[in-house]
Each structure stands twice: as C-alpha cells, then as structure tokens.
Structure 1
Amino acid sequence: MAEFWAEWGLLAYAGAAIWSFFEGETFVLLASAAGRATGLVDPWILMFCVWGGSFLGDQLWFSLGRRYGQRAVSRIPGAERRVATALGFLERYGVAFVLTFRFIYGVRNVAAAACGLSEMSRTRFMMLNFIAAGVWAASFVAAGWFAVAWLGEKGTLYALGAIGVAAVVYLAVRAMISRRRKTVVVV
C-alpha cells in the first residue's frame, strides 16, 4: 500500500475514491494504516476522497433502483433476497437504516438500490447519504490511523500480514468448496 502511494502520489487518492465508489472498507483501513506508518497518506485528503466516492456510488445505486426497479433486481442472482432484507430494514428503522447500512454486512451493496425502490425522495436520500458517507469515511480512516498508534508499526505489519494470510486462506477454501459442489454427481 505504501508503495502504491509513493508511486502514484495524488492519483492514489483518486484511486481510493474510485475504489470506495464500489466498496472499500479494507482498502480505506489499509491506506490509512499505511499513511500513519509511512507518512505518505494524508488522512484528511483520504477521508474526503473516499467520502465522495462512497457518496457518488450509492447515489448511482439509488438512481438505478429508482429507474429500473424490481425487474433489474430479479435479473441478478441472489439480489432479490438481499433487497427484500434491505427493504425490511428500511421499513423498520427508516432514517437509522440509511445512516448505517454501510456498516451492515450482506446488504451494503444493495441497500441504496433498495432505497431507490422505496418511496424515499431523491433529496432526502441524497442528504442522508451524504451524512452517512461522511460518517463511514471518517470511521474507517480513523480506525486504520489509530490502529497503527495502538499496535505500533511492528504490530501493524504483523496484523496486516495476518489479514493477508487470512484472505488467501478464505479464498482458497471458497475455491475448494466451489469445486466440490461442481464435481458432486447426484444419481
């Protein structure tokens, strides 16, 4: 991550914004931690870039949900169930759901589209989304930044290494499970 920032400079912030347009918690945490450890990343610039990227990404999903509605959702495998879950949360918790859906695993990617499917006005979603994106950006930048202070540089390197190993193991297990499901023959 530090090499990425050293090589790309200010363009790395644009990369962070683009990454957060789609997702980005892990990237933001790692970028912030690398910034604290190396001094190459300004946490304020990073926060504003990922705030903008996250805000714009969810605005797009809201607009797609509003424009294409349920028929688009039905074409994406597994999305109907997650959208139904998100709509249930939206109905039950309202504004609190919009302000927190970025932190809820499993519905984060479809929550903005679900809001577009609801009766929520564009202006209301935009205002809530702007606040929520800022809270999300500040939370993950701060978490990465202060994790280094808490763990120390050496502890941070060990933690990042452990996260990398865990990610590789997770992907390998998922690949093996996927292969086994494909090779199972039902008679």
Structure 2
Amino acid sequence: MDLEHLIIEYGYLAIFIGTFLEGETIVVLGGIAAHMGLLDLPFVALTAFLGSFMGDQLFFQIGRIGGKHLLATRPVWQERIDYIDELLHHYRSWLILTFRFYYGLRNIIPFALGTMTVSFKQFFTLNFIGAIIWAIILSSLGYLFGQAFEVFLEKYQLPAIMIIVLVLAFILYIIKRQTKKKIIHKIEMEHHHTDHHDNTDDNKPH
C-alpha cells in the first residue's frame, strides 16, 4: 500500500488520535493532504475538533477527579500549576478559550483547570468554542501551505511530505522549548521576588 492509500485509509484516524493527545503538526499535515485531494478539508477540521475537544475534556475530568492526588505524587508539577492559577485569576475566560495555543503549557492546562475552581459548564463551553477555532485555523494553514508549495509537493510527493513533517516538528519543538524556558524563568523570578519580600518582612522590627 503506497503513501496516498495510507493517507486516504487512515488519515482521519491519525488526525483524531494525534489531536486527542496534542497534534498541531498532524492537523497542518491534514490540511496539506486536503489540498492534495487525499482528504476533505471540512472533515480534517471536524476530526481535529473532535479529537482535541474530547481529549481535553478527558484531561479536565482527570484533574477534577484525581488531580490533587497526582499533584501530591509529582510536586515538580506544582510550579506550573501555580503559574496557571495566576493566569486563571487574571484571564479566566480567555485562558480557557485559547490554551491550545500556549506551547509549553498546552498539555497540562486542562488537567490543571480541573483541579481549580472552573465549573464543568464553563470549561465545556469555552473548550468547545476554542477547539473549533483551533481546528479551523490549523487545517486552513495546512491547506494554504499546500497551495504555496503545490509544484514541489506534486513533483516530490513522498520526500516533500517527509521534509514538511521534519520541519514542522522541529519548528514546534523550538517554539515549545523557548516557551518553556520563558515560563520557568518567570516562575523562578516570581518565587525569588516572593522569597525576597518574605525575608524583608522577617527582618522588620516588631
């Protein structure tokens, strides 16, 4: 079975599984495959929406049911949870709506929100809307990417797709790594400021 038949046969399943777990790259590739005529763009977006929405609803429920216990066994997660809690305090609805675009925190945010004071109804509604926006944007970007490199894709189909996968994976890795560094730096600076403030208070005469 050649690559075209594999994409036609299992493309939507791959998109669903990929987006259930995370899946930015697989959605863009689905958009490229749609431009090549191997998949349908509306179904690529629909599948990406379903996978992302259902996956994040599951992680949110895990946070609600067993989040406190998991955090007790993994204290290293607590710093990120505290940072997300701070974001939630300032940008509640916006955070829930757009968390899919927060590289470095994308996987942990639904779980973290499940451990906090976010209602099921609020998360369900904003997660639903956010998943639609995310799926349409990324699948459309893939389709436009396919248009921009149409001649290259048609002439060197398999090598072109492999190169695109590697390039996208590398770009996303760099973005996530840099974002993670910035988040960790911000958390460390906040903790340093908090510790300095506490020490200053302790040194004040009573």
Cα-to-partner distance string for 1:50-108 (whole Å, 9 max, x where unaligned): 10110000001110111112321343474222222222211110100111110011111
- In 2, distance between residues paired with 1:166 and 1:69? 32
Q: Is the 8 A contact 1:59 1:112 kept in 2?
A: yes
Question: May I ask how many residue pairs the two structures share in their alignment?
Answer: 169
- Is the alpha carbon distance of 1:81 and 1:55 closer, same or farther for their aligned partners in structure 2, counting shifts above 3 Å? same
Q: Report which of the two structures shows the higher radius of gyration computed on alpha carbons.
A: 2
- In 2, distance between residues paired with 1:47 and 1:167? 20
Q: How does 1:117-128 map to 2 (within 5 A)?
A: 117-128=115-126
Task: Tell me the CA shift for residue 147 of structure 1.
Answer: 1.4
Q: AA paired with 1:18?
A: I
- In 2, distance between residues paired with 1:50 and 1:29? 10
- Is the deviation greater in 84-93 or in 135-144? 84-93
Q: What runs of 5+ residues in structure 2 fail to find an aligned partner? A: 174-206
Q: How does 1:1-187 map to 2 (within 5 A)?
A: 3=3, 6-7=5-6, 9-36=8-35, 38-76=36-74, 78-154=76-152, 161=163, 164=166
Cα-to-partner distance string for 1:117-145 (whole Å, 9 max, x where unaligned): 11111011101100001111011001111
Task: Tell me the CA shift for residue 26 of structure 1.
Answer: 0.6
- In 2, distance between residues paired with 1:136 and 1:70? 29
Q: What runs of 5+ residues in structure 1 fail to find an aligned partner? A: 171-187
Residue aligned with 1:108, SS: coil
- Is the alpha carbon distance of 1:114 and 1:49 closer, same or farther for their aligned partners in structure 2, counting shifts above 3 Å? same
- In 1, distance between residues paired with 2:13 and 2:37? 18
- In 1, distance between residues paired with 2:82 and 2:29? 32
**Normalization by structure 2: what TM-score?**
0.71
Percent of pairs with identical residues: 31
Q: CA RMSD in A?
A: 2.9
- Is the alpha carbon distance of 1:154 and 1:11 closer, same or farther for their aligned partners in structure 2, counting shifts above 3 Å? closer
